[in-house]
Amino acid sequence: MSTRHTERTGPLDGVRVVELAGIGPGPFAAMLLADLGADVVRVDRPGGPGLGVDPAQDLTNRNKRSVLVDLKAEGGPAAVLDLVERADVLVEGYRPGVAERLGVGPDACLARNPRLVYGRMTGWGQDGPLAPTAGHDIGYIALTGALGMIGPDPDGPPSIPANLLGDYAGGSLYLVVGVLAALRHAREHGEGQVVDAAIVDGTAHLTTMIHTMLGAGGWQDRRGVNLLDGGCPFYGVYATSDGGHMAVGALEERFYATFARLLGLDGETTAARHDLARWPELREAVAARFRTRTRAEWTGVFEGTDACVAPVLSLREAPGHPHLAARATFAEHGGLVQPAPAPRFSATPGTLRRGPALPGADTAEVARDWAVPALHPQESKTT
């Protein structure tokens, strides 16, 4: 056992994960497992993923180790299967059938390790008409109805939520939930299995509450006219005099009352909350008030109150916010500012133990720690 392993912390300490290198939601899911203490070994291929990102700055590869294996070369699949034999979890994000053609599909891996949890991350899933086709986050969330409901303008195009909704919320997080559930089953029953995490499935699942509201008549099937999609004047974003923005979420009556008072709305305008026909009038009144001061000034007005108003910060500004700084929501490691591991655990906290894994840099170390001499034959004598 290596010294680094004995220093590893987190609730997944002792769990071994093999990650077949890819891009997007697969690496993020493996990063989350690594943040929680798992020993994640990323199997990189010669040449890398071709994203043009400096591996030393790819934060999704933090807390991992990397070995370099060419799955298309003789001995490549065998080396990965040697890792699989010693692993608890495998994560891959290839198109359906690719892992099988490379010799490291579920059948080959589970034959080698019947307790293995084989996590598959795709956009469309392992079956269905679109399964073999290419895609990206925007297309996956488009088909589920999630993209179509985002945005404040019912007559304009939907707003694009970066790739957070599909790739990471509907993809990575569902893969992690599935892997952990299957891992529990494997440890109790000795039975591994395949986890088919499709972004379309996870994103659709995220819309469960909206479907409840839609079925009950509390949600219109078009954007910009509902309580949570920008249609509501007291749940939205408003520009300030200096070009900044404030986010308003004063949904409950008591919070709205505080918001209206601090914003300086008169009683008649405030009462428009209860009349849907007057919502455009209320929205304009709120917008006009916010345009009278800067973002910093409005932040000061609402700070420490229950008005449910917050400044809209940029990615570079966010780490400096007093609340996030006090909670150490962001951290610096190796000169890189980054989100800290989440969620938090009282007894087994996740940690930032090491920076992004450089392709192949840990081959000898992993060969020693996992006792896989085929990875690095000259290390075999130390196992």
Q: Which residue has the tokens 């060419």?
A: 70
Name every residue whose Cβ is closer than 8 Å to that of residue 254 and which is 6 or more positions away in sequence: 306
Q: Give the start-to-end residue ranges of the domains of the chain.
A: 3-206+353-382, 235-314
The domain made up of 235-314 has a fold known as formyl-coa transferase, domain 3 (3.30.1540)
Active-site hit among 44, 167, 362, 369? 167
What is the pLDDT, as a whole number, of residue 375?
Answer: 75
The domain made up of 3-206+353-382 has a fold known as Rossmann fold (3.40.50)
Return the closest-CA partner of residue 173 out of 199, 140, 193, 142.
Answer: 199
| CA 260 centroid distance within chain | 35
User: For residue 383, is pLDDT > 60?
Assistant: no
Residue 136 annotated among the catalytic residues of the structure: yes
| Domain 235-314 in the same topology as domain 3-206+353-382 | no
What is the pLDDT, as a whole number, of residue 53?
Answer: 82
Evaluate whether 141 touches 124 at the Cβ level (below 8 Å).
no
Kindly state the helix (H) or strand (E) to which residue 210 belongs, with its residue range: helix 208-215
Q: pLDDT of 24-79, one tens digit each?
A: 999 999 999 999 999 999 999 988 765 678 899 999 999 999 999 999 999 999 99
User: For residue 380, is pLDDT > 90?
Assistant: no
User: For residue 157, is pLDDT > 90?
Assistant: yes
φ, ψ (nearest 5 deg) of residue 373:
-60, -25
What is the pLDDT, as a whole number, of residue 373?
Answer: 81
- Mean pLDDT, the chain, rounded, equals 93
What is the pLDDT, as a whole number, of residue 291?
Answer: 98
In the chain, what percentage of residues exceed pLDDT 90? 91
What is the pLDDT, as a whole number, of residue 8?
Answer: 53
What is the pLDDT, as a whole number, of residue 242?
Answer: 97
pLDDT confidence tier of residue 338, bands split at 50, 70 and 90: very high
What is the pLDDT, as a whole number, of residue 47?
Answer: 80
The 3-class SS string of 65-78 reads EEEECCCCCCCHHH
Active-site hit among 5, 107, 127, 136? 136
What is the pLDDT, as a whole number, of residue 1?
Answer: 32
What is the pLDDT, as a whole number, of residue 274?
Answer: 93
CA distance 296 to 100: 56
- Which pTM does this prediction carry? 0.93
CA distance 115 to 247: 48
User: For residue 152, is pLDDT > 60?
Assistant: yes
Name every residue whose Cβ is closer than 8 Å to that of residue 30 and which is 6 or more positions away in sequence: 17, 19, 40, 42, 60, 64, 91
Residue 306 annotated among the catalytic residues of the structure: no
Mean pLDDT of 313-321: 97
Mean pLDDT of 135-140: 97
Kindly state the helix (H) or strand (E) to which residue 19 belongs, with its residue range: strand 16-20
User: For residue 312, is pLDDT > 60?
Assistant: yes
